[in-house]
Amino acid sequence: MYKLQFLILAVAIMMTSCNRPKVVDQTESSTTEEKTNFKFDKLKEPIEMHGTEGAVTSVNQVVVIEQLPTSKYVYLRVKNLKTNQEYWIATALMDIEIGGIYFYKNGLLKTNFESKEYNRVFDQMYLVNNLVASNHASQQSGKQATTAKNNTEIGDVKLATGSVPIAELVKNPSSYAGKEVQVTGTCTKINPNIMQRNWVHLKDNSDTDYDFVLTTDQMIPEGHTVTMMGTLAVNKDFGAGYKYEIILENCRIIQ
């Protein structure tokens, strides 16, 4: 009787051991090389700089300490102005000012990131979609400095019927605030797909020094003269350095 009970107990223990879940090592290599050709416009999940891979809503403000440009991208050693921590980020190739302050939100953390061009492996690299200068609005709106990169020629822009001259909007913004306004001008620059919209810089002959900005979901080629209609906003602050005294929002092409 005792032998039978012992045999039953032994069989039960063996069956329990077989059904026990196995422990799997979940540590994986996350080495990312430049040849993977990561596309910044595909990075949709915002993460906090010093967390693990995952999503969190956070706008990050950093100052640039060092830059390493490559053929397509630029690697930046930055200091977080909130946490005082230093780390590396990578973004699409652009002009960067050492000591300049920038904002970004979306990003993707990669560990053991290998740069072929510099023959270097970074312990951590944050791939950043949109990097915005803190003085973006002052540089891109209002009276521009002569060094501004805006060399599109302004020809003889003829206002379409119903269009308000940009100089008039600048002079009397409160008269048009919150109203639908039509403008005609030449596209001197476009910053596409930032904050789910395109940022078009427009000029007309009424004030060739003023860089008027409007937002739209349509693409406007640089150098093209267009007539657009949207709602005029005054003292608009989108955050992340996008602040404007006047801006025409949600524009659509009239002609």
Residue 18 has pLDDT above 90, yes or no: no
In a 13 Å sphere around the CA of 237, the CA atoms on its Cβ side amount to 5
Place of tokens 């000591």: 99
Q: Distance between CA atoms of 248 and 211, rounded to whole angstroms?
A: 12
Rounded to two decimals, what is the model's pTM?
A: 0.48
Q: What is the pLDDT of residue 141?
A: 42
Q: What is the pLDDT of residue 117?
A: 85
Please check whether the two domains, 32-133 and 136-253, share a CATH topology.
yes
Least confident range from 47-51, 94-98, 179-183, 250-254: namely 47-51
**What's the confidence (pLDDT) of residue 251?**
94
- pLDDT category at 138 given cuts 50, 70, 90 is very low
The three-state (H, E, C) secondary structure of the chain, written as one string = CHHHHHHHHHHHHHHHHHHCCCCCCCCCCCCEEHHHCCCHHHCCCECCCCCCCCCCCCCEEEEEEEEEECCCEEEEEEEECCCCCEEEEEEECCCCCCCCEEEECEEEEEEEEEECCCCEEEEEEEEECCCEECCHHHHHCEECCCCCCCCCCCCCCCCCCCCCCHHHHHHCHHHHCCCEEEEEEEEEEEEEEECCEEEEEEECCCCCCEEEEEEECCCCCCCCEEEEEEEEEEEEEEECCEEEEEEEEEEEECC
Torsion sign over Cα 174, 175, 179, 185: negative
Between residues 6 and 228, the one the model is more confident about: 228
Q: Which residue did the predictor score with more confidence, 224 or 136?
A: 224
Least confidently predicted of 148-152, 199-203, 221-225: 148-152
Provide the residue type at 87 as one letter.
Y
pLDDT in tens, 173-210: 999 999 999 999 998 888 777 778 888 999 998 877 88
Which residues are registered as beta bridge partners of 87? 78
Q: Which residue has the higher pLDDT, 198 or 9?
A: 198
Q: Could you tell me the maximum CA-CA distance found in the chain, to the nearest angstrom?
A: 109
**What CATH number does domain 32-133 carry, 1.20.120, 2.40.50, 2.30.110, 3.40.50?**
2.40.50
Which range, 47-51, 76-80, 97-101, is most confident? 76-80
Does residue 159 carry a pLDDT above 60?
yes
Fold of the domain built from segment(s) 136-253: OB fold (Dihydrolipoamide Acetyltransferase, E2P) (2.40.50)
- At residue 234 the predicted structure's pLDDT band, cuts being 50, 70 and 90, is very high
Q: How confident is the model at residue 89 (pLDDT cuts 50, 70, 90)?
A: very high
Domain extent listing, the chain: 32-133, 136-253
Give residue 208's pLDDT: 73
Residue 220's pLDDT band (cuts 50, 70, 90): confident
Q: Is the pLDDT of residue 5 over 50?
A: yes
Q: In the block, which residue shows the tokens 């008039």?
A: 168
